[in-house]
Amino acid sequence: MVNIYNNIRNFLIDENVLVAVFNNYIYIYNYQKINKLNNEEVIIKTNSNLVIIQGKELKLKKLMPSEIIISGAPSKVEFKNE
């Protein structure tokens, strides 16, 4: 329980990036830009990493200045240092 509290605290204070993966969508908070977007791969740049999402029928469901929702059938989510 303490670990969950620390994660939420760090998220709120440090403005870390949050990536939440669900069955048919992925939510990303505090991203910087979209590097690539097509129906099979989405690459999102964050402060220090790239979030690479692969799957089928991927599309933007919500796009806001600090948050994004990608819907479809994600099969792989990978984080790479830039």
The domain locations on the chain are 17-81
* CA 29/CA 22 separation, integer angstroms: 14
Least confident of 2-6, 8-12, 40-44, 64-68: 8-12
**Tell me, which fold does domain 17-81 have in CATH?**
Immunoglobulin-like (2.60.40)
* CA 9/CA 11 separation, integer angstroms: 5
- Confidence bin at 18 (pLDDT 50/70/90): confident
Q: Mean pLDDT, to the nearest integer, of 20-34?
A: 92
* CA 46/CA 32 separation, integer angstroms: 5
What's the whole-model pTM score?
A: 0.78
Query: Would you give the distance in Å from CA 76 to the centre of its chain?
Result: 12
